Structure 1
Amino acid sequence: MPSAETAASDRPASSQPAAAPNAPLAPARQADIPGWFFRLDQEAFRHLLSAQSEAGLTGDILELGSYLGRSAVLLGDHLRPGERLTVCDLFDSAAGDADNDAEMTMSYRASLTRRGFEANYLAFHPELPTIVQAPTSVLADGRIPAGSCRFVHVDASHLYEHVSGDIEVARRALAENGLVVLDDYRSEHTPGVSAAVWQAVFTGGLRPVLLTPMKFYGTWGDPEPVREALLARDWPAEGFTVDEDVIAGRRVLRLNNAVRPAAARSGSRRLLLELLPPAATRAVRRGLRALRERRGARPGGTVAPR
């Protein structure tokens, strides 16, 4: 039965959170849970988890870094009888080291609470997963049995040393053909993740299977069954693109959102641009381009959260 472990609480392992004044409001839809787990990766998770079940691959699911539960709720959807979901996150606890604590304060501290995660998860599932409220490094103590997991999602610290440790935890936890998914492997603000991921590929035997703009999917087992399962789906019909690359002699798929064609200009706008003097036309186009850039820009000076 799922339970709750805590590094900072004496709550019994089998207890459920009691109602409390000012408790977080339960979301009506999974999409209402705050987070940065978007449709592209949601579909990849659903497809790969379902393919594992259809192939008879059993095992637990592990998530390192859960934020407010958007991905954990989806992972819980795919648990089968006898399988367990474990999530490990600091939530509102202290990080324990200065660099990690600084990252938490910058990106998550104001919004991330365990109560929020629990309320979100229980809005869609009857009981909580096993919760380890602590730095993900505690999982190196062997509490996750070796080879017990079929799927591990790593989305915790962005610091190289921490990510390297999380990848090692995932490697030991995964069954022979289990999958690991690593977030933020290519973001500009997370070079430590990139370094740890590609080090695992080139020196640690991790085989890439699928790349999306946000996540790296890989295995220490045989990548071909995963590749075949991915190619069995008609992704373009659902608004995605599928491409193939070769990395160090190994084929890897890339999944992305299809680019929508630019909207055709209206006849009146096109006529106006044609009638204006060239200098005025250039000024109008510069103004329109600046307006589009302002609308599409992200707030400056922020670190994109996990």
Structure 2
Amino acid sequence: MANAQQTYTYPGEPGDVPGWFPPLDQVLFTWFLDRQRTRGFAGDLLELGAYLGKSAILLGRHLAAGERFTVCDLFGGDAPDGANKAETAKSYASLTRQAFERNYLSFHDTLPRVIEAPSSVISSEVAAGSCRFVHIDASHLYEHVRDDIGAAREILLPEGVVVLDDFRSEHTPGVSVAAWEAVLNRGLRPICLSTQKLYGTWGDPSAVQEELLEMLRGRADCGVSVQRAAGHRLVRVRSAGVRGPEFPKSRHFVEPVVEVVPAPRPRRSPARRIAVDLLPPVITRAVRKVRARQV
């Protein structure tokens, strides 16, 4: 018997794409990328670890003319070592390049440059000092994240922004170690911390922090606090009901059909029906004529 053909449901909105990209981080990505554009800060975009495209779809919207967006992911291919292979099999078994591309092309006319390989190849694929924004969300293993951070430092422009995913999740201690090691020993300077991501730079974060604090304190849907540790100012941001930024619908979006159901006609109580029936016929007919005109 022939195998049943697998059907694919195209996303109508970014929220339909599976993945982990909270609304708060969608707002922060948008703010950082818009700030770079309004200040004429040009450069390429890079994402290490794309999964099914949820964050890549937003990043692609901020690509300016003459810039390049590169995505690097294994997409179910061969992992470089046993630990990475086990991680991929456990967490990303459903990931395929075809699924990523279908999702991305639902919202954009052209694909980014896609590198189907371990993130360790990125230094030889992307030029040093070429990117303004790098999102690291590939492996959760310490050695790989450490190397990805090192590659990002080479690839970023001096005032570029790097975002480290899962820097504080209980199931990703390797990311936490690599992230704070970079802050303490490798010159990375935090700009802000969300629940899930660390935003940093190897430049001076002071000016961007002040602008970010002004924006966040003007929003009722964000909680903000500032702490100091090991000589760094840490801006902590949490969601208080944040909704993601507006995003154009997918080319596959279908407006939901709203069915108009007529309101039910009021029903007379049994007592009222009995009362009408007991009236003299002349009065009963008059009452019924009045009610018919009211319907």
Q: Secondary structure at the match of 2:29?
A: helix
Q: Is 1:123 the equivalent of 2:106?
A: yes
**Which residue, out of 83, 86, 90, partners 2:67?**
83
Which residue is 1:164 aligned to? Answer: 146
Whole-Å Cα distance in 2 between the matches of residues 237 and 228 of structure 1? 15
1:33 Cα shift? 0.4
Whole-Å Cα distance in 1 between the matches of residues 21 and 114 of structure 2? 20
Give TM-score scaled by structure 1 length.
0.75
1:224 Cα shift? 1.5
Q: CA RMSD in A?
A: 1.6
Larger Rg: 2
Letter in 1 for 2:66: G
Aligned ranges for residues 108-119 of structure 1 at < 5 Å? 108-109=92-93, 111-119=94-102
Q: Is 1:34 the equivalent of 2:27?
A: no
**Over residues 89-127 of structure 1, what are the superposed CA-to-partner deviations in whole Å (9 max), with x where a residue is unaligned?**
001212131100000111111x21111100000000000
Whole-Å Cα distance in 2 between the matches of residues 257 and 180 of structure 1? 21
Instruction: From the superposition, tell whether residues 155 and 88 of structure 1 become closer, same or farther in structure 2 (CA, over 3 Å).
Output: same
Aligned ranges for residues 178-197 of structure 1 at < 5 Å? 178-197=160-179
**Over residues 133-163 of structure 1, what are the superposed CA-to-partner deviations in whole Å (9 max), with x where a residue is unaligned?**
000001132x211110000000010000000
Whole-Å Cα distance in 1 between the matches of residues 44 and 152 of structure 2? 12
Whole-Å Cα distance in 1 between the matches of residues 213 and 105 of structure 2? 34
Which residue is 2:82 aligned to? Answer: 98
Identity %: 53
**How many residues are aligned here?**
238
Whole-Å Cα distance in 1 between the matches of residues 157 and 7 of structure 2? 38
Q: Check the 8 A contact 2:220/2:240 in 1, yes or no.
A: no
Which residue is 1:63 aligned to? Answer: 47
Aligned ranges for residues 1-306 of structure 1 at < 5 Å? 22=6, 24-109=8-93, 111-141=94-124, 143-235=125-217, 237-258=219-240
Letter in 2 for 1:217: Y
Whole-Å Cα distance in 2 between the matches of residues 84 and 166 of structure 1? 19
Give TM-score scaled by structure 2 length.
0.78
Q: Secondary structure at the match of 1:237?
A: coil
1:236 Cα shift? 5.5
Letter in 2 for 1:227: Q
1:238 Cα shift? 4.2
1:232 Cα shift? 3.0
Q: Check the 8 A contact 1:25/1:119 in 2, yes or no.
A: no
Q: Where do 5+ consecutive residues of structure 2 fail to align?
A: 243-295
